Amino acid sequence: MPLNEFIPLRYRDGARRMALALQHMDRVLIAAHAHPDGDALGSVAAAGYLLRCLGKNFFLYVTPRVPHDLSFMPLPGIQLSALDRLPFTHRSALLLDCGEPHRLGQDLAKCLPQWVTVNIDHHPGGNGMGSMDNWIEPEAAATAQLIAYVALEAGIPLEGELATAIALGLVTDTGGFRHGNTTPDMLRLTALLVENGCHLAALRDQLDNNWTLERMRLWGLLMSRVTVRRQNTIAFCSVSLKDLTVSKATKEDLEGFVEHMRKLRDVRAAALLREDAPGCCKFSLRSSGSVDVRQAAATLGGGGHRNAAGGTLHMSMHEAEESLTTALSQALESGGY
Ligand code: 5GP
Ligand code: MN
């Protein structure tokens, strides 16, 4: 089967446009949102392998660093977490899995007005922040899925480390093929990766079986502290700076905890609130079915997807809990199933 037969019809124009845009770029900074998750890092890595195949100069910008949980991931080329000494002078950037400049981190956001940029993303709510071109597909399971189609359009086989990078994005953004974004298209693409030698079980093993004891202790503490509200339909948990210090755990150790809170019977929406500094906290929301936590996050200045969203609140933990409860109650009232 010709490679581009794997690109669903509705993605062909976008994939073609992006393959052309990349041909016109060189000396490219590749970046995704700060504090990358699996899709952000997988997309950045996949785009690097793609640009390498196209013979382009590039470097990866990952800020503040590659998370420890994802450090097993091979990355192509030079990786930088600061912009003060760039390996080349020309300014062009490929911005992935992110629709808003501020989520790229303030250093890069500041440079962008002077740069030629292309944006590939699957977050709903915008037309893209690229100055040269944009490809925004809210129906795509992961940004890595879109990068895979660009590679196929450019005639690049999805093998080796490129396939692993794409699989990382697909596996993590679908919650291990469990979320509503697990579509036939993305499963067909995953089948192609597996056929080409991508080892999903090994990837799962590296993602899952990698905990520190500090993380396990922290999760134990937090599990004992989860509360439920609004007739058991909202699960809530707060983590203070002190909790992290006492348990000797890091923010990264909280990754995935909010998904476990969703496991409670009757719970339709879960909120994890993390204190980052006095008066500043980050919230993570998860929901089921048509309960739209993106909308709830948006009312508080954040964003994301229908069933997974987040943001930052500049208020005390107590005030943040109240604001989140109100926003989630509204989401539950307007959500059906
Ligand atoms: P998490 O809860 O894992 O940090 O984020 C879940 C999703 O919410 C992410 O994939 C991202 O789409 C979105 N998200 C998280 N934090 C923010 C934020 O501060 N602003 C926006 N716009 N989206 C966010
Ligand atoms: Mn994503």
Q: What is the Å distance from ligand 2's center to 265 Cα?
A: 27
Q: Which residues pair with 272 in a beta bridge?
A: 237, 284
Domain 213-334 has CATH 3.10.310.30: yes
Ligand nearest to the CA of 168: 2
Residue 226 has pLDDT above 90, yes or no: yes
Query: Does residue 336 surpass a pLDDT of 70?
Result: no
Compare 55 and 89 and report the one with higher pLDDT: 55
The number of the ligand 1 atom at minimal distance from the alpha carbon of 286 is: 2
- pLDDT, tens digit (0-9, with 9 covering 90-100), for 97-150: 999 999 999 999 999 999 999 999 999 988 999 999 999 999 999 999 999 999
The answer to whether the CB of 303 is under 6 A from ligand 1 is: yes
Percentage with pLDDT > 90 across the chain: 91
By three-state DSSP, how is residue 22 classified?
helix
CA separation for the pair 178, 23 (Å, rounded): 35
Q: Ligand 1 in contact with 270 (CB < 6 A)? A: no
Burial of residue 334 (CB within 10 Å: 0-12, 13-18, 19+) is: exposed
- Domain extents for the chain? 3-208, 213-334
Nearest CA to ligand 1 atom 23: 303
Q: pLDDT tens digit string along 252-277?
A: 999 999 999 999 999 999 999 999 99
291 confidence band (pLDDT: 50, 70, 90): very high
57 alpha carbon – ligand 1 mean position (Å): 30
Ligand 1 probe mutation, 37, 70, 173, 254, most atoms within 8 A of CB: 37
Residue 96's DSSP bridge partners are 32, 120
Mapped onto helix, strand or coil, the DSSP state of residue 173 is helix
**At the topology level of CATH, where does 3-208 sit?**
inorganic pyrophosphatase (n-terminal core) (3.90.1640)
Decide if 47 contacts 147 (C-beta within 8 A): yes
CA 82 to chain centroid: 20
Q: State if residue 284 touches ligand 1 by the CB under 6 angstroms criterion.
A: yes
Asked if residue 294 has its Cβ within 6 Å of ligand 1, the reply is no
Q: Which ligand is nearest to the CA of 312?
A: 1
Average pLDDT over residues 175-196: 95
Atom of ligand 1 nearest to the CA of 125: 22
pTM of the entire structure?
0.93
Query: Which ligand has the minimum distance to the alpha carbon of residue 103?
Result: 1
What pLDDT was estimated at residue 87? 86
Q: Is the CB of 99 under 6 A from ligand 1?
A: no
The pLDDT score that the predictor gives to residue 194 is 98
Question: With 60 as the cut, is the pLDDT of residue 337 above it?
Answer: no
Ligand 1, atom 18, lies closest to the CA of 311
286 CA → ligand 2 middle, Å: 14
Mean pLDDT over the full length of the chain:
95
**Cα–Cα distance measured from residue 287 to residue 301, given in angstroms and rounded to the nearest whole number:** 18
Is 286 in contact with 179 (CB distance < 8 Å)? Answer: no
Give yes or no for residue 123 CB within 6 A of ligand 1. Answer: yes
pLDDT of residue 47: 98
Instruction: Report whether residue 304 contacts ligand 1, using a CB cutoff of 6 Å.
Output: yes
Mean pLDDT, range 157-161, rounded to an integer = 97
Q: Is 287 in the pocket of ligand 1 (CB under 6 A)?
A: no
Contact 254 CB / ligand 1 (< 6 Å): no
In this structure, what DSSP letter does residue 69 have?
G
